[in-house]
Amino acid sequence: MEKNNGIYLVDKPQGWTSYQVVRHFQQHLSKNMRIGHTGTLDPMATGLLILLTGPCTKLQKTFQEMPKTYTGKILLGVETNTGDMDGTVLRRSQIPDISRIQLKETLNKFNKTLEVYPPDFSAVKYKGKPLYFYARKGIPIQKRLRKMTVYRWDLLEFSPPRFSFELDCGSGTYVRTLAELLGKDLGCGAVVEELRRTSIGPYRIEDAQAITSIKWPTLSPSEPLMASTAATRS
């Protein structure tokens, strides 16, 4: 095993919440050891989730501010209350006759810093509770605008009504919000159909472990953690 200094790179499976991954780790590590993740992934999303344990939890903000890369698929002509296919379908629309070049040009329009409201179904806190708490109960609240920066939004494949993409973005970027903005721009609506986070700063999904393959150490809170993944990658 290779020393990982309190950093675990996990390939989050679909259907798990980020909190469930943390709870899973807590069952295998010392009860007195602090543990937290560095950026929420939606249950439908897969990919890189970085967990910090022990003294490394003090670095949580540093990790959260690192740029991220995603790949995924967006479905045109559909709108849901969550911005992805896990939500309730609100409407379906005919998609415009758009070429690959036109779609690529539309994606390029979003390569900038945007001010947007976070999704109703998100982990952003309002008065100590996540927004999804209020959304599920139908309680209206006053959300604040948040900045998110898109560095690159590349079109990979386009087979109407869906397309695959790769996205480089800053912290605090909601891909579901980008899909909704794109759908509004095209006049037909759009939702995230698949999403996978492939990097956070210098950390890569290739160095992550599936939850089922992690070899759990038996350590006291004062001992360094070990893992069979590389902690960094240049």
Catalytic residues: 42
The β-bridge relationship of strands 129-130 and 203-204 is unpaired
3-state SS, residue 54: helix
Which residues fall within 8 angstroms of residue 114, CB to CB, at 6 or more apart?
A: 147, 148, 149, 150, 181
Rg (CA), the chain: 19
50 sits in the region (left: phi over 0; alpha: psi -120 to 50; else beta) called beta
DSSP H or E run through 130: strand 129-130
